[in-house]
A and B are shown apart, each in its own frame.
Chain A
């Protein structure tokens, strides 16, 4: 079992649907992240949670709504998405807040296709 697990691995949704991506980390970390990976573009940091508190939101559209109920779980709620939101969404966690030299561990990602 990997340290950071994401479900579902693949998701196809219509533009009017509401769905959620789930992330769970089994490493005892207290910081969690959502990244977006699009083709031929650098990974983009979307959200950072530290001790269940959102500490950074990199100007992400409101159609993406994160939720961190505890330090082990992170959700990304999706609604009224656009086709350009199709991408690989990566969850990650680290021991301390930020890279600070702390290794960030990634999940395997959730492939999202918006039709």
Chain B
């Protein structure tokens, strides 16, 4: 079965510091996509970053970057220079290639302290 595991229910970081959120997934597929979504208190899920499994280069979006380890089936999110507005639930998600499925983890609540 394809599953996504986020082992950290909660994380905290000081403003301007760096934090890494962990995500592992289980799949027998070789082609797939991985995503990190952010859900602030407004509840709207917002795409933070995505990674195509066939790309070896780690995706980056401004202060957000991933460490994609395909063999280890690991997909962690690094947030640099954390800001108060980064406080939210973060969900890791996996999508097999050419399907409608988007399989989510249970999320990590990130708190940012001034």
Chain B nearest Cβ from A87, distance in angstroms: 12
Given contacts A43-B91, A45-B102, A99-B100, contact A109 B47 (CB under 8 A): no
Do B4 and A108 touch (CB < 8 A)? no
Chain A nearest Cβ from B52, distance in angstroms: 6
Considering the chains assembled together, what is the distance between the CA atoms of A87 and B107 in angstroms? Answer: 16
Q: How many residues of A contact B (CB 8 A)?
A: 27
CB neighbours of A43 from chain B (8 A) = 91, 102, 104
Chain A nearest Cβ from B26, distance in angstroms: 13
CB neighbours of B50 from chain A (8 A) = 101, 103
Considering the chains assembled together, what is the distance between the CA atoms of A107 and B44 in angstroms? Answer: 6
Given contacts A56-B100, A99-B33, A101-B50, contact A2 B106 (CB under 8 A): no
CB of B62 closer than 8 Å to a CB of A: no
CB of B45 closer than 8 Å to a CB of A: yes
Q: Which residues of A contact B (CB under 8 A)?
A: 2, 31, 33, 40-43, 45, 48, 50, 55-56, 88, 90, 92, 97-101, 103-109
CB of B97 closer than 8 Å to a CB of A: yes
Contact among A41, A98, A103, A108 with B47 in the assembled complex (CB-CB below 8 Å):
A103
Q: Which residue of A lies closest to B99 (CB)?
A: A98
Other than the given A45-B100, A100-B99, 8 more pairs (CB < 8 A) read A40-B106, A55-B100, A90-B43, A98-B101, A101-B52, A106-B46, A107-B44, A108-B42
Do B44 and A2 touch (CB < 8 A)? yes
CB neighbours of A99 from chain B (8 A) = 33, 35, 95, 99-102
Interface 1/0 per residue, B73-114 and A, CB below 8 Å: 000000000000000000100010111111111110000000
